[in-house]
Amino acid sequence: MTNILLHGCNGRIGQAISRIVKDHQNLNIVAGVDPNLSVPNAFPVFDRIENCTMPVDVIIDFSTASAVRPLLEHAISKKIPVVVCTTGLSPEDIDFLHEASKEIPIFFSANMSLGVNLLITLAKRATEVLADCGFDIEIIEKHHNQKVDAPSGTALAIANAITDTLDQNYELRYDRSGVREKRPKNEIGIHAVRGGTIVGEHDILFAGNDEVITLSHSAASKEVFAVGSLKAAAFLAPKTPGLYNMEHLLNQ
């Protein structure tokens, strides 16, 4: 049995994880951490991770960007693996995460959905085939009106995967307003839509002469991210220090 500490347990995805963990026979949430202690849970919840006295095998983090570094510092001191699912991390946070992975196992993905990560794999293959044939590439992401970061971490992960596949340098273009010029070939447009309760939608558009190919993923609920995080926790718990991602999980 893998015992989990759920960091950010009273957020929307934290609560989704709590609901579906019962479907995973070898996983158990033994404690949670959240500054909001008003939500009832089937496990003890602490307002600060330093106050948690429960022995755990792995931490799942769905909190806020500002909480990630203190979490990793605590995890290093206790030698606990961490699945970092929080988005909106700064470059400094990412650098610290990489350093921390030398001390403990860390799983980090811009999106915990298995489907989204398969989408990225398909996008890389499509790029290999289509980029040299003159296809333009655009990424459109849509999220609910409460999301504070734009473009999404997933859109950036898709863009980075595509640019890593290409032989030449491509520029990421976030805004074309006020730019009165033709679209250059070495450009990838990224567009953010915010509205309503959209959980998450990502489209990758490959537009060529007289034909368009679109790769799409749509999440209908937060549970797709919860499922991915639990699979990541089971995968990470026995690992040695290092930085792991969804590609490692999908390829195991």
Overall size of the chain counted in residues: 252
Q: Among residues 24, 147, 239, 248, which one is catalytic?
A: 147
Ligand-binding annotation for 208, yes or no, is no
Ligand-binding annotation for 53, yes or no, is no
The token pair that represents 236 in the structure block? 């990470």
Catalytic residue check, 185: no
Q: Among residues 143, 202, 217, 222, which one is catalytic?
A: 143
Ligand-binding annotation for 52, yes or no, is no
Ligand-binding annotation for 10, yes or no, is yes
Ligand-binding annotation for 133, yes or no, is no
Q: Order of strands across the sheet with 171-173?
A: 171-173, 187-194, 136-143, 200-208, 211-219
Q: In this structure, is the dihedral angle defined by the CA atoms of residues 227, 141, 34 and 13, taken in order, positive or negative?
A: negative
User: How many other C-beta atoms lie within 10 A of the C-beta of residue 65?
Assistant: 14
Ligand-binding annotation for 85, yes or no, is yes
- Report the relative pairing of strands 45-46 and 105-108 from DSSP bridges: unpaired
Ligand-binding annotation for 87, yes or no, is yes
Ligand-binding annotation for 13, yes or no, is yes
Catalytic residue check, 147: yes
Ligand-binding annotation for 11, yes or no, is yes
Ligand-binding annotation for 203, yes or no, is no
Collect all residues with Cβ–Cβ distance below 8 Å to 111 and sequence separation of at least 6: 117, 153, 154, 157, 200, 225, 228, 246
**CA terminus-to-terminus distance, the chain:** 20
Annotated binding site: 8-13, 34, 85-87, 109-112, 144, 153-154
Annotated binding site for (S)-2,3,4,5-tetrahydrodipicolinate: 144, 153-154
Query: Any idea which residues carry the catalytic annotation?
Result: 143, 147
